[in-house]
Structure 1
């Protein structure tokens, strides 16, 4: 009798409750363009505790592609699917890597803390668990904007990342403001930045929200992209850090951090706005360098007292689920991991392990250090968890440091891209960490020496956290130099096959470069070569160019002078015969300035 009554009740409920709608496939179904699948599931509010929709449900969707590739992609609770905190939309974002027929199958589990478990059978099946579907994807569009035409930026076994269906990549980015996301137009965010100077850089057709709230930050992305800056470094959470003004959670954490902060509920509308900015950056060719923690003790301890616990795992999972579909993205585990509360190598490895287990796309992982970068990052050499470096060096010599990192990581069996992400020039300041915008000095002392030593670069700006404009006169001049250097590398060199070889030049003029505290060194020619094929030589001053050792080469080379201030070749090509030491001759003009000499094997 009791069983029949229960059955009758269930039947009656089934009769009055609407049937679950089939999943909805959304977006541009083209290879390397993001799309989404949305499911109708349990209704919730972003602040619910029992169950917590972020922690006590877990959506994973398995996508199978036409060549048999499989991606196990985390999904997320998305309120009403339009930015409201209430609703029953559960969504997964995905970027297919190939045209053709794709299938998907959803796993939806419920249970206390199930979201952060890596056990596929944790919790119990719920709602739309097991729902399947299929969709067709068009082939890659070679004319798509930004990174959408090239696909995912990946570790390629050498000192440069490569797009799966596109070129090798040289980072030339910006490191300030690290609290880029502390933008007045975002919901639930202190208005540390307004980027008013960039509001006019927004263009019709660009994304926006709330009738103008998004225009200035979208304009800032447009401005950076137009000036050939291709990477942006920013924190996803700085509670307890320098800014105390960026977080992904619902509500307002204690600005200096604390054990009572709610780090288990996420702000759906804010993260939807972040996604609009990130997606636009991808379309404009700006890589997302996402930094997950910063140096200060309270920031490092804000999640699980610094350990890998429920809060940190959920933080990683939500960021991966909401943003991991983007093609050009990297996870930087922590800024200055080793000062104040020293996270140490073991914690850093455990953080990387969890991200690797959760991120279906295997985006590059790095970690940033203080003090001697070679010593403090050595534990990452040869470790497959790490696919990029993130080097703070202040006023240390940049060219030889890049070369040392290249040599050491290659010797460890996993050559890493060498990215110098935080450095300063010596202009007599007492604090060596304090940056100054000096475009000429940056070009001569940092930019070209880094690139022609086989490294990559991000500039920290003079205003640090107070940076409001990327187009001050000094910055425009600096980005002009960045664009010229990038174009030279990308248009004229097979840089991924080249290596530094400064000892091939002797007798050239040098410039004095400060190292702080009254110390300095003499910087001479920077040589980047593919032996017997191409030699790119940067002279920080061309007052005397010396001679080049081509004893091991043969045949003839064409030599051309390139002006790194204006981005043009000057003067006619000049034939040079290999087989010994050769005089390089005079630059065509302004010999007290910097020049590049490009030698390429003459075509027969």
Structure 2
């Protein structure tokens, strides 16, 4: 049965500012999540451009009626008409809404996109490159739902340079064995309970808390990698006899409908360690097909086509061989084999060994964007989580970010005080202090977007990749800026253009990645050209250990401003 379409008054909106339309049903559905689907079609009067957006049920309004919402991010000014309809048709859910969209008040970055052909792989719709520096706060949403004050945590991470958070849509009961110290109430996001679930319903109170966090992130120009299914080892994702494909589709469509319009939605991650599907801790070839199905579903449901990423555990088969032909996949969210250093050497993991090799294994080309999304979790005083995390200290954190960045990959960190069971920065991990030093160098000393790995400039080095002591080099195309990261004390010969010519006169400096201190640098021999220019890292300071010793060499052609700021050193 069709119902007469209600014509509403003109609604005002603005480019780059998310708007929300609400509609209330005149009759109640037995299960509004399952029994009714609401869709809106937005049409631009002048251009005819259309956008189809799915709505979502969001509880009961003040009049006691079931309410549906549609969220839209306008990208074009002018007159629009929104036609909203329900299936099955229902009174109150058939609307025509004229919308006048004004121009943006200022610059609008838009959504995050992948540009794998570029050196850093990420840009906003505006064309602005993004220096992605992340942290893992899996229980970001659950913490807020339980009353954790998130503003100090987000503000601290933002001040340290973080703009990207890995967070899961629901709170995971899987690990660690330690209970979440912040959790004050049940965070089950579906209907019923974990003991007696109803996967055809969703907990709107929980998702209203998630909304608030997404707004907090947007206000800070931060964004989230939204992990839709946390672990395949946990209920309900390990019980496909109860959590049916139809339940999974409802879950995915609901999350996409509710959050796709937020500027703080950066990347969809269908599952953390997807390869454990359907429920055991090993790689399953069936998981590849399952992932492809979910990626197609997300891209179909998402009107803005946010990037979809794949996050793995296994290193048996590289991601590019599993998904190189998957059109719906945009980014490899690579987890390194972060326990391997301990397994091989039987000790702590201060060197963050073999990270570069593992990143290349999964993403050897620029066919798709890639980032280092997980490489271990630094222990934090007073915040014990897992025994395995005690292997990772601030040296691992520091070397990990420089190894990733100088290999051409953005990096996401993890700290025990914010990773899962704890949500506090009052006792922050030691290595968190190294993040702003790294960010400042990559965004102020050099232009990260112009720098690419340049191993060919290292014509002679001390150390090897196997031992984790070989230096890494990045440079811009014109060799106006060349930088070398030394994960351990050592030296190298650098093939800079002949320094004897005025046009190729370079200035040199050392950066201490632990303190941010800058020291003058002078070649130990050579003047560029064919023979190369040799550099030796500064001597250790009194009290320094071998784990302390790492340096960054920064060389800049004098007068060069083509790829960097005008900062001097």
Q: 1:487 & 1:449 partners in 2: Cα distance?
A: 16
Match of 2:206 in 1: 270
Match of 1:37 in 2: 21
Residue 399 of structure 1, aligned match among 348, 356, 365: 356
Residue 506 of structure 2, aligned match among 541, 554, 558: 558
Residue 419 of structure 1, CA deviation: 2.6
Match of 1:334 in 2: 271
1:445-484 pair list within 5 angstroms? 446-462=400-416, 464-473=419-428, 475=429, 477-484=430-437
Match of 2:182 in 1: none
Three-state SS of the structure 1 residue aligned to 2:86 is strand
Residue 8 of structure 2, aligned match among 19, 22, 25: 22
Q: Is the 8 A contact 1:24 1:39 kept in 2?
A: no
Residue 102 of structure 1, CA deviation: 4.1
Q: 1:349 & 1:304 partners in 2: Cα distance?
A: 20
Match of 1:150 in 2: 109
Match of 2:175 in 1: 242
Residue 516 of structure 2, aligned match among 567, 575, 585: 567
Residue 362 of structure 1, CA deviation: 0.9
Residue 600 of structure 1, CA deviation: 3.3
Count of residue pairs the alignment pairs up: 510
From the superposition, tell whether residues 69 and 539 of structure 1 become closer, same or farther in structure 2 (CA, over 3 Å). farther
Residue 557 of structure 1, CA deviation: 4.7
CA deviation vs aligned residue, 1:488-516 (integer Å, no higher than 9, x gap): 222343433433233532554559x9xxx
Q: 1:375 & 1:157 partners in 2: Cα distance?
A: 18
Residue 597 of structure 1, CA deviation: 1.8
Match of 1:599 in 2: 555
Three-state SS of the structure 1 residue aligned to 2:514 is coil
Is 1:527 the counterpart of 2:527? The answer is no
TM-score (norm 2): 0.78
Q: 1:317 & 1:455 partners in 2: Cα distance?
A: 31
Residue 296 of structure 1, CA deviation: 0.5
Match of 2:322 in 1: 379
CA deviation vs aligned residue, 1:164-221 (integer Å, no higher than 9, x gap): 1152223222224x233333x62xxxx5xx64xxxxxxxxxxxxxxxxxxxx123322
From the superposition, tell whether residues 540 and 242 of structure 1 become closer, same or farther in structure 2 (CA, over 3 Å). closer
Q: 1:305 & 1:73 partners in 2: Cα distance?
A: 29
1:265-344 pair list within 5 angstroms? 265-293=201-229, 294-296=231-233, 298-302=235-239, 309-329=245-265, 330-339=267-276, 340-341=279-280, 342=284, 344=287
CA deviation vs aligned residue, 1:124-183 (integer Å, no higher than 9, x gap): 5754435131212222523xxxxxx4211012243511111152223222224x233333
CA deviation vs aligned residue, 1:14-39 (integer Å, no higher than 9, x gap): 9xxxx96826847xx33222111223
From the superposition, tell whether residues 392 and 94 of structure 1 become closer, same or farther in structure 2 (CA, over 3 Å). same
1:421-436 pair list within 5 angstroms? 421-423=374-376, 434=389, 436=391
Residue 433 of structure 1, CA deviation: 5.2
Task: Tell me how large the CA RMSD over aligned residues is.
Answer: 3.7
Three-state SS of the structure 2 residue aligned to 1:580 is helix
Three-state SS of the structure 1 residue aligned to 2:68 is strand
Q: 1:400 & 1:175 partners in 2: Cα distance?
A: 23
Match of 1:364 in 2: 307
Three-state SS of the structure 1 residue aligned to 2:468 is strand
Q: Is the 8 A contact 1:419 1:455 kept in 2?
A: yes
Three-state SS of the structure 2 residue aligned to 1:349 is helix
Is 1:225 the counterpart of 2:158? The answer is yes
Q: Is the 8 A contact 2:7 2:95 kept in 1?
A: no
Match of 1:103 in 2: 80
Match of 2:36 in 1: 57
From the superposition, tell whether residues 70 and 538 of structure 1 become closer, same or farther in structure 2 (CA, over 3 Å). farther
Residue 134 of structure 2, aligned match among 166, 173, 194: 173
Match of 1:213 in 2: none
From the superposition, tell whether residues 586 and 251 of structure 1 become closer, same or farther in structure 2 (CA, over 3 Å). same
Q: Is the 8 A contact 1:238 1:299 kept in 2?
A: no
Residue 455 of structure 1, CA deviation: 0.8
Residue 306 of structure 1, CA deviation: 6.1
CA deviation vs aligned residue, 1:303-332 (integer Å, no higher than 9, x gap): 66566x221111111111111111242111
Residue 353 of structure 1, CA deviation: 0.5
Residue 298 of structure 2, aligned match among 352, 355, 363: 355
Q: 2:474 & 2:325 partners in 1: Cα distance?
A: 24
1:256-267 pair list within 5 angstroms? 260-267=196-203
From the superposition, tell whether residues 363 and 573 of structure 1 become closer, same or farther in structure 2 (CA, over 3 Å). farther
Match of 1:253 in 2: 194
Residue 544 of structure 1, aligned match among 485, 490, 494: 490
Three-state SS of the structure 2 residue aligned to 1:488 is helix
Q: Is the 8 A contact 1:509 1:524 kept in 2?
A: yes
Q: Is the 8 A contact 1:390 1:419 kept in 2?
A: yes
Runs of 5+ unmatched residues, structure 1: 1-13, 112-123, 143-148, 196-215, 255-259, 514-519
Q: 2:423 & 2:289 partners in 1: Cα distance?
A: 37
Residue 552 of structure 1, CA deviation: 10
Q: 2:443 & 2:6 partners in 1: Cα distance?
A: 52
